[in-house]
Structures are given as C-alpha cells and as structure tokens.
A = this chain, B = another copy of it.
Amino acid sequence: MSSPASPLRLFVPGDLATGLIIELSSDQAHYVAHVMRRSVGDAVLLFNGRDGEWQGDLAEIQKKAASVFITAQTQGQPIERNLTLLFAPIKRMATDMIVQKASELGVTVIQPVITARTNSDRVRVGRLTAIATEASEQCERLTLPVIFEPVSIQDKLESWPEDRVLFVMDETGTGAPIADVLSESAAQDAAAAAFVIGPEGGFSETELDLMRSLPFSRFMSLGPRILRADTAALAALTCWQALCGDWRHANKG
C-alpha cells in the first residue's frame, strides 16, 4: 500500500555502493520510463539482497536501457531468519499467488514438491522468480526468496536436516491448533522454520504416515473449514510471522 509518488524500488543483481552507476535491465528500463513514466533525475531505490538499500537518481533513460547513479545508502542489510515453504504446485493462478504472497510474508526459500496427488501445470521457476522479485520490490523487502526446481517430497524429506522442525499443515484434523504449536515454537526461538502444504486432494495416506514417522515433523490444524491449498499456505506463514517472526516487534515505521 505504498503511495504512488514514492520512489521506485528495484532489485539489481550487482554490487551497490555510493558513486557507482548501475545499468538496469531492459525490462526495468521499460517499466521505469514507460509504465511508471519517471524521468532523468527522479529518485530510485535499489537493493541486491546483500548490501542493504541504496538511493540513486535516474542518470540516463533510453528506449531499452536506463542507468542509476547511486548517491547514498538508505538501509543496512537486515538478517532474515530462514523460512522455508514446501508446497505442491497447483493451478497456475493459485501457484502464482502463493509465490507472490509468500514473498510479502518473508519466505526465504520456496521449494515446489511433487506429491502423489499433485496434478498441475509445469512449474516455471523463471516466471515464479519474476513474480517474487516484483513482490519483494513492492513490499520494501531487501531480499528475494530463492525458488528451486520441483523435487519429489520423498527425496526432500529423506535429506531433511534432523534438527530443523517441519510444520505439516494437516487437513485431516489430527494436528494441534496452529496457535498452540507456534507459541511453543516461539518460546524456543529457532533460527529456521519450514512448512509443508499438500495439493488439492491432500497428502496420500503413505505420505502422511511417512511424515508422522519423522522426528522433526509437527502436525498442525487450521480449524474446522477445509481451506484451499493456497489459503492454507498463506495462513500458516501469516501465523508464523505474527507469533514467531518479525511481526512480533513494533513496526519500523
């Protein structure tokens, strides 16, 4: 909900420091000049996921190119806790929404997982990364989530680090209320958290049995209504940020 007059925020891959001139991508140049109608001299904010946030001025705008002259650092790079989302890809629009909202909700790693009942379009990691980048730019985040190619859920669970808790969103109703599970987790103040969300149709019995047998899994419930997979993903991440994450503290504003 940023105001229309605020400086554009853009992710750039290269290093950032005062005095550097940064070339934007051709897509960014188009966005800056033609979509947002900014001119030479207008302020822009840049971040690269490592060096914090920097202010600069649009130094040059051509048809398919633009550059920014960096004038000052506006924020240091914050330390983000590792927040991983494993989700079974669903219909394209719902998958896009999961990636957009997960980026706003501070997820650091997005891992699509193939489950027995996964029945979806092919996952296009490049497309999802573009969605995550735009969401991070707009929500004033200073990092991008990393999005991996899909893997089978069995492979992912077999290589899971034993000391990392995996919260399982369980629509069969055997889990404890999410606020109870996460309040307990907040007290332990773990450095990392991960959630796994099944596809439409849920996890198979074999998958549920496997996850129940793992020492690092915690089953949790999201109430009496049967949520869509995308709603469940956003709800779980929201509760984590509110109870264990960076929403616990007073706002930076």
Binding site for B on A (CB under 8 A): 1-4, 97, 101, 104-106, 138-141, 171-179, 198-202, 221-229, 231-232, 234-235, 238-239, 241-243, 245-253
Q: Which 10 A-B pairs have the closest CB atoms?
A: A173-B253, A173-B251, A223-B247, A139-B225, A221-B251, A235-B238, A179-B242, A238-B238, A1-B202, A224-B252
CA of A22 to CA of B139, assembled, Å? 49
CA of A245 to CA of B222, assembled, Å? 11
Q: How far is the CB of A35 from chain B (nearest CB, A)?
A: 15
B226 & A2 in contact (Cβ 8 Å cutoff): yes
B248 & A238 in contact (Cβ 8 Å cutoff): no
B238 & A250 in contact (Cβ 8 Å cutoff): no
- Most B CB atoms within 10 A — which of A105, A231, A250, A252? A231
Nearest-CB residue, chain B, relative to A139: B225
Given A1-B232, A4-B201, A238-B235, also A177-B247 (CB < 8 A)? yes
Residues of the B chain whose Cβ atoms lie less than 8 Å from the Cβ of A97: 97
B202 & A104 in contact (Cβ 8 Å cutoff): no
Given A238-B239, A250-B177, also A225-B141 (CB < 8 A)? yes
CA of A249 to CA of B175, assembled, Å? 11
A248 & B177 in contact (Cβ 8 Å cutoff): yes
Q: How far is the CB of A234 from chain B (nearest CB, A)?
A: 6
Given A1-B232, A251-B175, also A241-B226 (CB < 8 A)? no
Q: How far is the CB of A85 from chain B (nearest CB, A)?
A: 15
